Amino acid sequence: MKKLLKIIGVLFLILIIIILFRTLTFKSKQVKVHLAPKISLNDSCINHLQKAINFRTISYDDSKIDSSQFIGFQKYLIEAYPLVFSKMKLEKVNDLSLILHWKGKSAKVKPIVLMAHQDVVPIEKATEKDWDALPFSGTVKSGFIYGRGTIDDKGSLIAILESAELLLKQGFIPLSDIYFVIGHDEEISGLRGARTIANLFKERKIKPAFILDEGGIITEYKVPGLNKTAAVVGIAEKGYQTLKLKIKIPGGHSSMPEERTAIDEMAKAVVKLKENPFPAKLTPIVQNFLSFVGPEMPFISKMAMANQWLFSSIIKSSYAKSGAGNATIRTTTATTIFNSGIKENLIPGEATATINFRTQPGITQEDVINHVRKAIDNNEIEIIPIGKGNSPTQIADINDESFKYIQTTIGKIKQDIIVAPYLVLGATDSRYFSENTSQIFRFTPFTDPEGFHGVNERIKISEFKNGINFYYLLMKDYK
Q: Which residues are catalytic?
A: 119, 186
d(CA 229, CA 247): 49
d(CA 5, CA 105): 72
Is 429 within 8 Å of 11 (Cβ atoms)? no
The DSSP annotation for 88-155 comes to SEEEEETTTEEEEEE--S-SSSPPEEEEEE--BPPPPGGGGGG-SS-TTS--EETTEEESTTTTTTHH
Identify how many contiguous H helices and E strands the chain contains and give both numbers: 14, 17
The DSSP annotation for 47-98 comes to HHHHHHHHS--B--TT----HHHHHHHHHHHHHH-HHHHHHSEEEEETTTEE
Number of residues in the chain? 479
Q: How many CA atoms lie within 13 A of 144 on its CB side?
A: 19
- Burial of 321-342, coded b for 16+ CB within 10 Å and e otherwise, reads eeeebebbbbbbbebeeeebbe
d(CA 12, CA 18): 10
d(CA 65, CA 247): 35
Residue 29, SS3 per DSSP: coil
d(CA 191, CA 170): 37
- Give me the amino acid identity at 295: P
Q: Which residues contact 255 (CB under 8 A, 6 or more apart)?
A: 345
d(CA 95, CA 74): 11
Cross-strand bridge partners of residue 146:
458
- Burial of 232-251, coded b for 16+ CB within 10 Å and e otherwise, reads bbbbbbbbbbbbebbbebeb
| Phi–psi pair at 187, nearest 5 degrees | -70, -10
Burial class (CB in 10 A: 0-12, 13-18, 19+), 450: middle
Cross-strand bridge partners of residue 333:
357
Is 305 within 8 Å of 24 (Cβ atoms)? no
Nearest residue to 117 via CA among 52, 200, 202: 52
